Amino acid sequence: MNRVTALFLFTFGTLLLEPVLLFAVPFFTFNVPELGLIAVVYCAHGIRGSLSRGAAAALGIGYVIDLFSGAPVGMHALVYVLVYFLVRATFGRIYGRALWLQALLGALASGAVGVLVISIDQWLNPVEHSWAMLSHLPLQMLVTGLFAPAYFYVLWRVDRMASYEVSVEGIFK
């Protein structure tokens, strides 16, 4: 099985279970870690493979997020593909083996996605208080950044199960 396909299917399953697992914790009332985004960042940074396969995975994960969240169809898909290429271009030469770098990647990507989604939503549906959602962005970035290293490790394990012979190029080599 292709590595990106395996990660997409695992992320899809994780996104199905995410509401059950994370909303049971009282702390996660509004801000939950963006596990789909962390998977996109892992595809961009951890798998140095084909651009088209990674972009297709980012598009698919974004589309699934759109379906689950009730957002306009294609909004998260577009934003996740943009973030995929942004992470790929910005951190293309850095191997993120340090936990703080993985947390930083997750937090910065979460901030970029938050700003882009709020901006696109404001453009599509100009509501007076849409920009007030930016006040939730720092806590969202913190939560996603804290969960990023652990989820990167889980994705690395799934990646290794899907394709053991090429796992040495991954982020935890």
In sequence order, which residues have a C-beta less than 8 Å from that of residue 116 and are 6 or more positions away? 79, 82, 83
pLDDT value, residue 68: 86
pLDDT value, residue 48: 64
pLDDT value, residue 58: 92
pLDDT value, residue 78: 93
pLDDT value, residue 167: 47
Q: H or E segment at 15?
A: helix 3-22
Rounded to two decimals, what is the model's pTM? 0.85
Between CA 78 and CA 24 the distance in angstroms is 30
pLDDT value, residue 165: 59
Q: How many domains does the chain have?
A: 1
Between CA 87 and CA 136 the distance in angstroms is 23
pLDDT in tens, the chain (173 residues): 677 888 889 999 998 888 777 677 766 667 788 889 999 998 888 676 678 888 988 999 999 999 888 888 889 999 999 999 998 888 766 665 678 888 888 899 999 998 998 888 888 877 777 777 788 888 889 999 999 999 989 988 888 887 765 545 445 44
Domain of residue 62 covers 3-169
pLDDT value, residue 8: 87
pLDDT value, residue 77: 93
| CATH assignment of the domain containing 60 | 1.10.1760
